[in-house]
Structures are given as C-alpha cells and as structure tokens.
Structure 1
Amino acid sequence: MRAVTTSHLGSLTWERAVDRPDLLAERTHAMISGWAVVEPEVADAVLVAAIDPDLADTAAMTEAYDLPLAASVNCVLVAGRREGVERVAACLVRATTRADVNNAVKRLLDVRKASFLPMERATEESTMEYGGITPLGLPDGYRMLADARVGTDVTDAGGTVVIGSGVRRSKISLPGALLLRAPGVEVVEGLALA
C-alpha cells in the first residue's frame, strides 16, 4: 500500500481506496475496484481517509478536518411510486445545496410524489451505514442522479469532492468530474436548489 497525501484537502491523510478495503463498505470497494479495471486512472484518483465515526455527519466532519463545506457531496436516497411500481434514486448534491425532491427529482422519476427513504430502509437496502451512504456501490436498480454542479470547481480543492465511503469511519475523495463519469451516474442540470 502506498499512502497518498493531499495537502490541499483538509487535515486528513488520504490513501488509494483500492488499497484500503477495511475503510470501505464491501460493495463500495468492489465497485471502485471494478471501475479501476475499466478506467485505470480511478485507482489513483479515488482516495479514502479514516475519520472519527462520531464526526461522519457533514457539518461536524468539515469543521473537525478543515474541509470546505462546498467540497462535500451528499448522497440522499429518494423514492416514489407510479402505477404500483416503486422507483428509487440516489441524488448527489453539494452540501451547500439541497436536492429539489418536489420538482426535479419527482419529474425525473416520473412519479406523483417523491420522498426520502426512511433511515432504516436506506441502510438495510444499501448495506451501508447511515452517515456514510455513497453512490459508489449502491444496489442495481437505483438511478444515480447527480447535480451538474458536483463537477464544478467551487472551492480551492482543485475540483475534488468528498463523499461517503459506505461506512461512518471514513470518507472518499475524488475529482467531481470523475464522480460524474462513474458508472450509472446521470448528470442533471438543476437537480439541486441553492
């Protein structure tokens, strides 16, 4: 294993995620490893850092580790029904915004009403921990909708974003533009509200 530090992104020590399965949900590590086979640059671009699990929530984490709030990307799970069929999506939005569930998400899922998945169901179905849910390794059948601003460099972090790792004890960092290219991600203009 080789440690890769990113001095421009907070006070954390970042390492290649493919080398640290102990810091990732099982499905997340499998997804990143498979993606790296198809796109070899992913192995060096997707990093992970250990954190205090009590600081996994975005506000606490950004403050404790000197990370810009705008670099954090939240992954929220939303569902709605149409003709008895449930449609579920993971919405990726910067922490300084919020998913437009009542308009954009509802329209994209083509449902009459969309709402956040209850925590217990979200963690059970994703096999990830609350506070660590990530788009990398979600179950098949989940749409992954990403606000286009996730790929925009809005901080001094060089376009790097911070997302969940599937567990509360770590976070993943990667270029926002790369996250928008992750398998299955649909880029949506206006998915988030300021």
Structure 2
Amino acid sequence: MTVGSFTRVFRRVFFTAVALVSLFLGGVVCLMCQVLAGRDAPTYRVDGHVVSHEQGELPVGGDDGAVRHTIGIDAADGRHYSLTTVGSGLDLPPGQPVALDVSTADGSIAYLRAGGGVLDLRAGVIRPVLLIVASLLALGAVYFGAVRLNLYPPLATWLAVALGAVLSPVAVFVRV
C-alpha cells in the first residue's frame, strides 16, 4: 500500500467517522430539545380521586429516612393513573379529591393539585441543557479538528455537518 492510497483510505474512514459523530451528537441535541419541548407542552385538567396509597423504603441506597410514596388515581375520564415520588408530596389518603394537569404531548402528569397545594411532577431542565451544551461543544471540537488537520477539504467537512444535521432528527424519531 502506497502513501497515496493510505491517505485516500484514511480520508474516507475519517469522513465517515465525522459524519457518524455528527449524526450522534446532532441526535442528542434534537432529543434533548424534544425533551424540553415536551416538558413545557400544554396540559388539560382532569379531576379524580386517590384510590390507593402505598408507602415504603427506597429499593436502592439514598437518603436515610427517604420514603417512597405511590398513589393510584381514578380520573373522571375513566383512566387510572399511578404516581410514585420520593418525599412527602404524595402522602395523600385514599378518597382525597385531586386535579391532574395532563400533558398533551405524551400523556404524562405535569402537575397534581390536592388540598390547595400543587406538586410539580415534570422532569428538570438541568440535564437536557447540559447535554445540549456538551454535544454542541463536542461537535465544534470535531469540526475544528477535522478542518485544522487538513485531512480533507473544508467543503467535505461542511458536507458531513449537513449530513448530520439532516439525519439527526430522523435518528431521534426512530430512536436509534
């Protein structure tokens, strides 16, 4: 194998690797944006009442004295919801009337209203935002390295960026 053919093979492999890394990192960014959009999706209210309440220890290590509460709720729309949290937020007796704010995006419960209090059951924003920032920094580093190494022309680098940007939403919805 000559130096010229080795360089051609290396460039093809490197181009493929850059395209796959951009696909993966773009997919992470799209998925985390989807998580953030689902978190703040519109909700609709459903009334119901608590039908069961279980309380127990956490199955794995954690805070000493932390208690897991699981409640079952029969809603007015005929559905049965089951919620589990750590802490005293779901310490509700059976028969307690509740109002649920159900997300229109995925059917999860965003808020539970009971006895004048509101319990926010949505996922946090710190992890998705940190993953978006880390993925974008890694993507920038990959492209900076690819152009800086001059392994192939900048046009090919931008083609890899375009390929990753076009295919990453597909990867998110197919759940690669």
- Normalising by structure 1, report the TM-score: 0.23
Higher helix share: 2
Structure (1 or 2) with the larger CA radius of gyration: 2
Quick one: higher RCO (CA 8 Å, sep 6+), 1 or 2? 2
